[in-house]
């Protein structure tokens, strides 16, 4: 066999510009060269645009992901049994990780997970957990593994050393109009998941107005691409496609979402959130070979019998948090200001725009526009009425929790535009839209 031809960076950009596929070695030249600072931003920007316009084959996308995953530290979870990770492509009011991860631990699986912070209209698990006094998302590697071994659940903020190529490429995509590109999204998400080390990965791919993927076809394509990448890398990956037109549950905002998560773990959460967590737990268990009926019964029992709530309590305490907030979540700091969005006419709620709710939380101070910005954990929005529910003129549609009026007017406007009431009862879209394994 002849040795592969070493190509210059302009030649590699030209190959992609002309629609050709890269070899793994070529991707290493581009991506690892960029991480080392040897390939400048302007060349990678041109290459990203070529990828955006020309796409990538499944094999190329898998190779790109492996190169990105190998660009920094890779977590070795081989000392843990039955490791499982979960990822959501991002939503509003999506407190699923707060509920699902203790459920999985209560089911005997090991969750040693890295999570992100919220950006723009989507929240982050670390921010939500930080509304519990004392809780910290920083652990040494040894403490992280020991805790996952001892109680089945450890959760830390994402290390900068994990898939550093992703952080660098994402920043460039953000300013070169190349975020919205399937192989780049799939490789970005999966590079971090592969480097995090879990053998089984359950993906919640959001579809709808409040999500990256607006249509079911696009969501399915992303789910298939990510499952293929994981399978290629020797991991068991399942994806569930779920609706994100309206927010999940009734609350958006950090402390408010922790309160709703605790209610769900106590067996009286909102129906959509409970069903989603059960469906994701069933996916995880069936990846380990458990029959679906038995998996569902066991998953529901962790909520009804209190074992998942007990795991959350142990997990909060292990990471420095005050576990009394798990038993008395009303003690969490919730901003004292209240304002209401009132229905002007009677009828049925037709739609609740998840993006508008996410943006309302952002303007109230509960989210960040730039990385590193401080947030107010206590503000947020309560959706008193959700799509399909009846409402009379003058009734409360949504409640705003604000601090000293900060962002109130803008939040009120966003919600007034985002909540629509009309005559006929609308067909509420299914929450679970499909699955890929």
H or E element, residue 381:
strand 380-383
| From 15, 16, 86, 87, active-site residue | 87
Site for ligand URA contains 83 (CB under 6 A): no
User: Shortest Cβ distance from residue 30 to ligand URA (Å)?
Assistant: 17
| Residue closer to ligand URA (CB basis): 65 or 110 | 65
3-class DSSP assignment, residue 407: coil
| Residue closer to ligand URA (CB basis): 124 or 270 | 124
Distance separating alpha carbons of residues 243 and 313, to the nearest angstrom: 30
| Residue closer to ligand URA (CB basis): 187 or 254 | 187
| Residue closer to ligand URA (CB basis): 169 or 332 | 169
Cβ-contact 385, 418 below 8 angstroms? no
User: Shortest Cβ distance from residue 186 to ligand URA (Å)?
Assistant: 8
Instruction: Please give the C-alpha separations between residue 311 and each of 105, 184, 292, 315, in angstroms, as whole numbers.
Output: 7, 36, 23, 6
**In the stretch 212-251, what mask flags binding to ligand URA with x, by CB under 6 A?**
x---------------------------------------
User: Shortest Cβ distance from residue 320 to ligand URA (Å)?
Assistant: 27
User: Shortest Cβ distance from residue 393 to ligand URA (Å)?
Assistant: 40
**In the stretch 138-157, what mask flags binding to ligand URA with x, by CB under 6 A?**
--------------------
Closest CA to 100 of 333, 225, 294, 275: 275
Residue 60, C-beta contacts closer than 8 angstroms, at least 6 positions apart: 21, 22, 27, 183
Pairing of strands 200-207, 84-88: parallel
User: Shortest Cβ distance from residue 34 to ligand URA (Å)?
Assistant: 16
| From 117, 173, 206, 235, active-site residue | 173
Q: Which of residues 155-184 bind ligand URA (CB under 6 A)?
A: 184
Instruction: Locate 55 and state its tokens.
Output: 């796409």
Residue 410, C-beta contacts closer than 8 angstroms, at least 6 positions apart: 360, 363
Site for ligand URA contains 61 (CB under 6 A): no
Instruction: Locate 421 and state its tokens.
Output: 């009431």
DSSP for residue 336: S
| Residue closer to ligand URA (CB basis): 49 or 265 | 49
3-class DSSP assignment, residue 122: strand
Helices (H), 305-430: 307-318, 324-327, 354-361, 408-418
User: Shortest Cβ distance from residue 99 to ligand URA (Å)?
Assistant: 21
Closest CA to 84 of 64, 105, 57: 105
Stretch that binds ligand URA, among 39-47, 185-193, 215-223, 309-317 (CB under 6 A): 185-193
Distance separating alpha carbons of residues 401 and 365, to the nearest angstrom: 11
In the residue annotation, 121 being an active-site residue is answered as: no
Of the residues 12, 49, 103, 185, which one makes contact with ligand URA according to CB under 6 A? 185
| Residue closer to ligand URA (CB basis): 212 or 315 | 212
Distance separating alpha carbons of residues 148 and 376, to the nearest angstrom: 29
Which residue has 């020797």 as its token pair?
234
Tell me the residue number closest to ligand URA, measured at CB.
188
In the residue annotation, 166 being an active-site residue is answered as: yes
In the residue annotation, 376 being an active-site residue is answered as: no
| From 115, 131, 187, 188, active-site residue | 188
Site for ligand URA contains 189 (CB under 6 A): yes
Q: Which of residues 87-106 bind ligand URA (CB under 6 A)?
A: 89
| Residue closer to ligand URA (CB basis): 27 or 105 | 27
How many residues in the shown chain lie near ligand URA by CB under 6 A? 6
Per the DSSP assignment, residues forming a β-bridge with 398 are 341, 383
Distance separating alpha carbons of residues 90 and 242, to the nearest angstrom: 11
Site for ligand URA contains 188 (CB under 6 A): yes
| From 15, 117, 192, 298, active-site residue | 192
- Supply φ then ψ for residue 114, to 5 degrees: -105, 135
In the residue annotation, 402 being an active-site residue is answered as: no
In the residue annotation, 192 being an active-site residue is answered as: yes
Helices (H), 107-215: 125-129, 141-151, 164-174, 182-196
Instruction: Locate 52 and state its tokens.
Output: 């955006």
Residues near ligand URA (CB under 6 A) are: 89, 184-185, 188-189, 212
Catalytic residue IDs: 87, 166, 173, 188, 192
């Amino acid at each position: 066999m002849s040795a592969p031809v070493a190509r210059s960076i302009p030649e590699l950009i030209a190959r992609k510009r002309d629609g050709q596929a890269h070899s793994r070695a070529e991707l290493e030249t581009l991506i690892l060269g960029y991480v080392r600072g040897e390939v400048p931003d302007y060349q990678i920007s041109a290459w990203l645009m070529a990828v955006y316009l020309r796409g990538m084959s499944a094999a190329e996308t898998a190779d790109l992901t492996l190169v990105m995953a190998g660009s920094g530290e890779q977590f070795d979870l081989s000392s843990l049994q039955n490791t499982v990770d979960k990822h959501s492509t991002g939503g509003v009011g999506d407190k699923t990780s707060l509920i699902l991860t203790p459920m999985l631990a209560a089911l005997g699986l090991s969750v040693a997970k890295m999570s992100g912070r919220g950006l723009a209209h989507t929240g982050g698990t670390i921010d939500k957990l930080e509304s519990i006094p004392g809780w910290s998302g920083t652990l040494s590697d040894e403490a992280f593994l020991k805790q996952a071994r001892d109680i089945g659940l450890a959760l830390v903020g994402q290390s900068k050393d994990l898939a550093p190529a992703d952080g660098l490429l994402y920043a460039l995509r953000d300013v070169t109009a190349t975020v919205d590109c399937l192989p780049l999204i799939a490789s970005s998400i999966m590079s971090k998941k592969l480097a995090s080390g879990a053998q089984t990965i359950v993906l919640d791919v959001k579809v709808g107005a409040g999500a990256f993927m607006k249509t079911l076809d696009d969501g399915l394509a992303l789910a298939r691409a990510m499952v293929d990448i994981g399978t290629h890398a020797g991991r068991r990956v399942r994806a569930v496609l779920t609706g994100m037109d309206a927010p999940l549950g009734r609350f958006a905002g950090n402390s408010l979402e922790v309160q709703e998560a605790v209610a769900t773990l106590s067996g009286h959460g909102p129906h959509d959130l409970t069903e989603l967590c059960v469906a994701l737990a069933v996916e995880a268990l069936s990846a380990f070979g458990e029959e679906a009926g038995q998996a569902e019964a066991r998953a529901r029992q962790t909520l009804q019998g209190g074992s998942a709530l007990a795991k959350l309590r142990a997990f909060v305490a292990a990471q420095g948090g005050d576990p009394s907030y798990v038993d008395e979540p009303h003690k969490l700091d919730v901003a004292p200001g209240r304002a209401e969005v009132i229905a002007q006419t009677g009828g049925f709620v037709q739609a609740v725009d998840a993006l508008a709710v996410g943006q309302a939380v952002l303007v109230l101070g509960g989210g960040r526009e730039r990385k590193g910005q401080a947030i107010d954990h206590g503000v947020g929005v309560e959706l008193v009425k959700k799509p399909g529910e009846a409402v009379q003129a003058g009734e409360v549609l949504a409640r705003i929790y604000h601090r000293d009026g900060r962002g109130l007017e803008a939040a009120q406007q966003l919600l007034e535009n985002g909540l629509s009431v009309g005559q006929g009862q609308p067909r509420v879209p299914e929450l679970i839209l499909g699955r890929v394994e």
